[in-house]
Amino acid sequence: MGGDRPDDWTVSRRFRGFMPVVVDVETGGLNPQTDALLELAAVLLDVDAQGKIVQVDRIQLHVAPFEGANLDPVSMKINGIDIDHPFRNALSEAEALQQFFQPIRQRLKLNGARRAILVGHNAAFDLAVINAAVARCGNKRNPFHPFSTFDTVTLSALAVGETVLAKALEAIGLEWDSAQAHSALYDAEQTAELFCRIMNAFSKPNGRAPLRAPPVKKSPD
């Protein structure tokens, strides 16, 4: 957890009942329906005692291409993934989704949140990839909102006038390691740092904006 804090202040309350989860995927192309899902990574977030959004846990999984999946040579050159590497330990798409969703669902329950909201850099693509994999596998436990996202492209355009992830990170004083780029976990961690810094910078004092009062309970007649 993010340190001692008031019991009534959780990351889900900060986001009106939803819980942001930073996600990055690596794929064998740009078509979620036909191209292989190869890596899944997520960074789970919470709030600390001062109400600041912080990183608390990480998930990383390697995924075996589904039967008939396309592997575009251009995309594979960019991501540098060797699907036949003996130490890759890739899971089937169905097993990977199960292991990916389980800790997210556990934290949803812990925070009393309704749904997870995917945070990503060009988040619509990451969500489309996950939704396509869910449909292929018939998974009924997808914790993510089916269409809503928080996109750090838009947030960084607002905050620092940059839309490229590497340039946005540099604009807030962080280094970008191009050698680690296109690893799903590295990209997710960097995106999480960008998201946390922007959200915390734009929050009101104590990082609790907007702090919504709990609903007033009506007394029985």
DSSP state of 115: E
Catalytic residue among 62, 85, 145, 182: 182
The token pair at 219 is: 């007394």
The token pair at 64 is: 């075996």
Q: Could you tell me the end-to-end alpha-carbon distance of the chain, in angstroms, rounded to an integer? A: 40
Q: What is the DSSP string of 6-59?
A: -TT--HHHHTTTEEEEEEEEEESSS-TTTBPEEEEEEEEEEE-TTS-EEEEEEE
Q: What is the DSSP string of 153-221?
A: HHHHHHHHS--SHHHHHHHTT----TTTTT-HHHHHHHHHHHHHHHHHHTS-GGG--S-PPPPPPPPP-
Dist. CA 205–CA 221, nearest whole Å: 39
Tell me how crowded residue 108 is: count the other CB atoms within 10 A of its CB.
19
Strand, coil or helix: 116: strand
Indicate if 85 belongs to the active site: no
Active site residues: 182
